[in-house]
Chain A
Amino acid sequence: MIQLTNVTKSYGTGGTVLALNNLTLQIGTAERVAVMGPSGSGKSTLLNLVCGLDEPTSGSVKVEGVELSGLTDDARTRLRREKIGMIFQTFNLLTTLTALENVALPLRLQGLSKKEAEGRARSMLARVGLADRAAHRPDELSGGERQRVAIARALIFRPPLLLGDEPTGNLDSATGEEILRLLDDLQQEYQSTLLMVTHNAQAAEFCNRIVTLHDGKIVEDVACGRGPARDKA
């Protein structure tokens, strides 16, 4: 599903800040991978490269076998819309839209009619347990509810790849666990690949593989038992 080969990403004039340093990583279909590491280790950069929001200084990034660096901005955008669902720590909902409108937004950008888009969005909201909150705006929702809306929006296209950037970082532990369970359920239901950046060991335990970064390099890549065990259970 995801293949990063010898990826280097540097910032600043003359590449003074090395965010990723000759990194190679392969993630298979339906895998659940947690990326951990201290601040500045390159976690978010990795995520930005995979979703095509950023380009590597050198090396290759492939998603579903497609080399991202060869794509135009439009093609990368289409890939992001149709193949990648993104969940952010800060939710990144549009404050002026209701929960329903936020979830329907990617479909509307795809050109679907309002009626059709909102019909599908309503089903997805129901799936994340927010059928009765559809008409509420983000400021009228709790943190957990906002993240559910963001998950619904990320999954509206049933994308094969789900990216999470500290999805529980802004939530209390009980709500965070609730969100992780939801992600777990949905990932199994859609058989999506999950790549999640987190500081949270509890969140990482929901994955079947943990990759640890330090100074832009992978320092550890281990299988984690709980995810697959739960799957089997």
Chain B
Amino acid sequence: MGKRDMNHLSEEELLDTYYGDLPAARREHLDGCVECRVALTRMSELLDEVRSSPVPERGPGYGREVWARLEPKLNASKPNRWTRWWVLGPAGVALLSAAFLGGRLTVRTHQPAAIRQATKQVNEPAQQDASGKGSERVFLAAMGDHLDRSEILLAQLLHANPGQFETAEERARARDLVEENRLLRATASRSGDQAHAALLDDLERVFLDIAHSPQHLSSEDVEELQRRIEKQGLLFKVRVTSTDARAKGQTL
């Protein structure tokens, strides 16, 4: 890095050369000057070594991991003082359970609210019984219901004629299912139930695609969705998991 003659390339010009920015006129000098080429080689070797210093690898699922951590922050809103646990108290448990059961027995379109209540019961320690079995039973019941509705949508999509598929109704149902799905997935993740969380994550991707699809899907798009559902064995997994959830719920 000592001082160099005026005609030789300056350090700055050598750096320009390394990054491919040297003007053509100076390039001629470089081509005919051994000293400059040696200086350039020396700089290049060092900078190449610096570039080769490794970066720790992230796995192929890194993007999904980033999203999983990010999503709750995006949806975070100021806490509602009426939903704090010390306001709800033990009496709230009975009220929420009644609302959840009432929701199940009456109007199907109120499912997201019922799911929200069910997941809240699992997530909030103040609302769990001593063993946690009651909460798990409620969660499994909600999961079973959700998977039943998911199964219907997946089956319709899977058996649709790609050329004649109108999505207005399916989009609306997919939007409802996305909301339920998120709540259940977050609950499953928090409670360490990775199997359910993984299935719900796969489902969510399909529902999101349907929910945000244009009204008239092309045949190719429908076929692509059908291929994805088949390739992942989603319908089969949903059926099996739904049956398991109900059976396990009954034993609790």
Do A and B come from the same complex? no
- A residues with CB within 8 A of B: none
- B residues with CB within 8 A of A: none
